[in-house]
């Protein structure tokens, strides 16, 4: 708990959020306990960051993508269930799916095939999907936001 609180107080917002969300998602720190610990009058910034935690988040890059999207003003839902497909990492403005992919989890043949099946279900349902990497989110978040804007604009024109 102390490490998470210090991270929230000392690090940039995104870094603190990633640490806090990871601690909550991995059940190392209860979200309710974190909120209680940050109830002081000088903890407004930290409470704002904690309010962005999604306990069911499945990865750091999912957290990063959600942070950048929300910072850019998009409505973002996490771990949205799509019938016949399963859960998609993020849904932006109810129209665009985002999958955050780390190479370590998607390099074997079974994962490769399952990813394609899932993406094909999304395409058949008329929901475009962007697949983004850690490197993009870490090093070029403005490019990521531009991709999302372009995809949403194109889907609006096509509809």
From residue 56, give the alpha-carbon distance in Å to each of 61, 83, 113: 13, 19, 24
Cβ contact 55:25 at 8 Å: yes
Q: How confident is the model at residue 106 (pLDDT cuts 50, 70, 90)?
A: low
- DSSP letter, residue 38: T
Cα–Cα distance measured from residue 46 to residue 49, given in angstroms and rounded to the nearest whole number: 5
Please state the pTM of the whole predicted model: 0.90
Determine which of 4-8, 73-77, 81-85 has the lowest per-residue pLDDT on average.
81-85
Q: What is the pLDDT of residues 107-130, one digit of tens each?
A: 688 888 888 888 888 888 888 999
Q: What is the mean pLDDT of the chain?
A: 92
Burial of 65 (0-12, 13-18, 19+ CB in 10 A): buried
Which CATH superfamily includes the segment(s) 56-159?
A: VSR Endonuclease (3.40.960.10)
Q: Where are the alpha helices (DSSP H) in the chain?
A: 2-10, 13-25, 31-37, 44-50, 60-71, 109-124, 134-139, 141-158
- DSSP letter, residue 158: H
């Amino acid at each position: 708990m102390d490490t998470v609180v210090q991270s929230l107080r000392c690090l940039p917002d995104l870094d603190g959020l990633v640490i806090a969300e990871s601690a909550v998602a991995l059940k190392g720190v209860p979200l309710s306990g974190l909120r209680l610990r940050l109830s002081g009058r000088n903890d407004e910034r930290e409470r704002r960051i904690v309010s962005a935690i999604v306990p069911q988040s499945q990865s750091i890059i999912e957290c990063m993508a959600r942070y950048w999207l929300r910072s850019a003003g998009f409505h973002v839902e996490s771990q949205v269930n799509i019938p016949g497909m399963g859960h998609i990492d993020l849904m932006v403005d109810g129209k665009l799916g985002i999958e955050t992919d780390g190479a370590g989890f998607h390099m074997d043949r079974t994962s490769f095939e399952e990813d394609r099946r899932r993406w094909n279900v999304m395409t058949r349902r008329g929901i475009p999907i962007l697949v983004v990497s850690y490197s993009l989110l870490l090093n070029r978040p403005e490019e990521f936001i531009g991709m999302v804007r372009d995809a949403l604009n194109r889907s609006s024109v096509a509809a």
